[in-house]
Amino acid sequence: MREARLVQEIVIEGVDRVGVVADISRLLGDMGINLSAVSAAVDGESVRIRLITSSQSYARDALRDAGYTVRERDVIAMELPHHPGFLCRITEALARRDLTITELYATVPEDGDTGLVVFSCPNNLHALQLLRGH
């Protein structure tokens, strides 16, 4: 298991439209920026896209220059073995300390040995300390 780390997540919010994720991924791909994790959620006519990339500052600036409404926020990212029960171990450790997970998404290659889990809590620093000691 890789150490939990605090990272800046890019959050894009705006009006949903066909091709918005394609446009964002093309923009970043043309710059040579890899996507480590992506989450997109549509609510009515609005969309919220969350990104962890290989170069957050370049990605953030490029997205802003392209006219997207972008903000950043702290989240916890950790690489976990892709075996049954590892996510449960982490989430149970947080629950025992009354740390609520407010958002979580993960990416795991089908034949991969590890997956990236990205989440946030009301107190990310406390969660980070707990997981580093876990």
What are the sequence ranges of the domains in the chain? Answer: 9-72, 75-133
Q: Give the distance between the most distant pair of CA atoms in the chain.
A: 44
pLDDT score of 23 more than 60: yes
Average pLDDT over residues 124-130: 92
Percent pLDDT > 70 in the chain is: 98
What's the rounded Cα separation, in Å, for the pair 127 and 6?
Answer: 10
The angle formed by the CA atoms of residues 40, 98 and 121, to the nearest 5 degrees, is 25
Whole-prediction pTM? 0.86
Q: In the CATH hierarchy, which top-level class contains the domain 75-133?
A: alpha beta
Helix (H) or strand (E) segment spanning residue 88? helix 86-96
pLDDT of the residue at 113: 86
pLDDT of the residue at 86: 84
Q: In the CATH hierarchy, which top-level class contains the domain 9-72?
A: alpha beta
Q: Is the dihedral of CA 120, 60, 40, 89 positive or negative?
A: negative
Percent pLDDT > 90 in the chain is: 75
How does residue 9 score in pLDDT terms, banded at 50, 70 and 90? very high
